[in-house]
Amino acid sequence: MSPKIGVVTFPGSLDDQDAVRAIRLCGGEPVSLWHGSDDLDGVDAVILPGGFSYGDYLRCGAISRFAPVMAEVIKSADAGMPVLGICNGFQILCEAHLLPGALIRNDVRVFVCKDQDLQVESADTTWTSDFTRGQMITLVLKNGEGGYVADEDTLRRLEDEGRVIFRYVNGNPNGSFHDIAGICNERGNVVGLMPHPEHNVDRLTGPTQDGRAFFSSVFDFLTAKV
């Protein structure tokens, strides 16, 4: 049986259907989850998709973080369930304190939309085990508030513990500290990144198929666990 991956739709989510499609294309069973639900419908993993949930009111992810479904997501993440936050999903994970730090407006002060080169810094997470450390990949990046910031202690801890998992290369597009594009929690089951793996799963719509490894990684993990 293929793994069931939930994709949460918040009001203002944009890439939820792309995530659902990517899961299906990569061999998983996507399950659409509603932000107002307090049940995860028995999924094995959860993706918080990109977009502008709650219109980015207050701060990106600040209101979504308190959506009923998030109580379950936080509980399950703490219990080890794989959770991936993409773009707005990454912002939500930071607001929910499942990941440290915060995302602020791009230092270039414009919305950035480009094919972004990245270096894989860690394959030791649930979502990146099919990559190799040091691998160069390209994923679509599109955001207005993707500047990753955290205090010095947090940055040091992330670096020392190998929890910076993707770094921007060939130019920092948004002023992120330490060129950070993605990080994970201590356990490696919660991953957040600004670029969009779900837009990079087929030749027709993406510059690469580098996003597929996120899905194959989590499928491997879930299959091995069963």
Shortest distance, position 94 Cβ to another protein, whole Å: 8
Name residues whose C-beta falls within 8 Å of residue 69's C-beta, 6 or more positions apart in sequence. Answer: 8, 33, 34, 35, 36, 37, 38, 40
Shortest distance, position 107 Cβ to another protein, whole Å: 6
Interaction pattern, residues 118-147, with another protein; x per rule: CB under 8 A:
-----------------------------x
Known active-site residue 87? yes
Number of residues that bind another protein (CB under 8 A): 24
Would you count residue 14 as binding another protein (CB under 8 A)? Answer: no
Structure tokens at 106: 């791009």
Q: Which is nearer to another protein, 41 or 107 (CB)?
A: 107
Known active-site residue 198? yes
Of 94, 96, 98, 190, the one binding another protein by CB under 8 A: 94
Please pick, among 60, 87, 94, 184, the residue that the annotation labels catalytic: 87
User: Contact 82/45 with Cβ under 8 angstroms?
Assistant: yes
Of 14, 102, 112, 169, the one binding another protein by CB under 8 A: 102
CA dist list (Å): 6 to 37, 43, 56, 104, 114 = 12, 6, 22, 27, 27
- Alpha-carbon gap, residue 214 to 103, rounded angstroms: 22
Q: For residue 136, which phi and psi values (nearest 5 degrees)?
A: -100, 130
Residues 23-82 within binding reach of another protein (CB under 8 A): 36, 58-59, 62-63, 66-68
Would you count residue 179 as binding another protein (CB under 8 A)? Answer: no
Query: How many CB atoms neighbour CB 169 within 10 A?
Result: 15
Site residues (CB under 8 A) for another protein? 11, 36, 58-59, 62-63, 66-68, 94-95, 100-102, 104-107, 109, 147, 149-151, 175
Catalytic annotation, residues = 87, 196, 198
